[in-house]
Amino acid sequence: MKMNSKGRAVIISGPSGSGKGTTVKALLEARPELKLSISATTRLPRPGEENGVNYFFVSREEFQKKIENGDMLEYAEFCENIYGTPREYIEQCVSNGEDVILEIEVQGGMQVMAKMRDAISIFLIPPNRQSLEKRLRGRGTETEEVIRERLAQSYEELKCAEKYDYVVVCGEMSKCVSDILNIIDSEKLKSELMQDYIKENF
Which helix (H) or strand (E) covers residue 121, if one does?
A: strand 120-125
Q: Which of 152, 109, 113, 106 is nearest to 129 (CA)?
A: 152
CB 49 → a second copy: shortest distance, Å?
35
CA distances from 65 to 61, 62, 134 (A): 6, 5, 42
96 or 186: whose CB is closer to a second copy?
Answer: 186
CA distances from 171 to 5, 20, 159, 194 (A): 33, 11, 19, 33
CB 64 → a second copy: shortest distance, Å?
34
Q: Torsions phi, psi of 120, nearest 5?
A: -90, 130
46 or 199: whose CB is closer to a second copy?
Answer: 199
Q: Is the Cα dihedral 49, 51, 56, 58 positive or negative? A: positive
13 or 41: whose CB is closer to a second copy?
Answer: 13
41 or 111: whose CB is closer to a second copy?
Answer: 111
Site of interaction with a second copy (CB under 8 A): 1, 3, 123, 125, 127-129, 132, 155, 158, 161-169, 171, 179, 182-183, 185-187, 189-192, 194-195, 197-198, 201-202
CB 185 → a second copy: shortest distance, Å?
6
CB 98 → a second copy: shortest distance, Å?
20
